[in-house]
Amino acid sequence: VRYITGMPIHDTTAGFKCYRRRVLEAINFEKIRFVGYAFQIEMKFRSWRKGFHLAEVPVIFTDRKLGQSKMSSGIIREAVFGVILLKISSIFRK
């Protein structure tokens, strides 16, 4: 994600996020395309493209010991192709 988008963060799907009110007011939520992991990436990308600062606070994540992952092939496809689509569409919106 970082390589394709150029965003200055390492973990684009980290579960802990905070947005300032002015960032949320600047985002047109009707144009948000994705859900799940891709939604997290899209929100950060749109915020960054609007000139807002992204800060990252590292967290230690331990692997799941019980239960099953919610990750599916559809979620992975949406995230991979979604990132590429975000980048391509941002080039044409300059």
Task: For 70-87, write each residue's pLDDT tens digit.
Answer: 777 877 788 778 888 888
pLDDT in tens, 19-76: 999 999 999 999 998 887 888 899 999 999 999 999 888 888 788 788 777 777 877 7
* Contacts (Cβ under 8 Å, ≥6 apart) of 68: none
pLDDT at residue number 63: 81
Q: What angle do CA 9, 13, 17 make, to 5 degrees?
A: 80
Q: CA 4, CA 88: separation in Å to the nearest integer?
A: 10
Please report, for the chain, the start and end positions of each structural domain, with discontinuous segments joined by +. Answer: 2-61+70-92
N-term to C-term CA, the chain: 20
Q: Is the pLDDT of residue 4 over 80?
A: yes
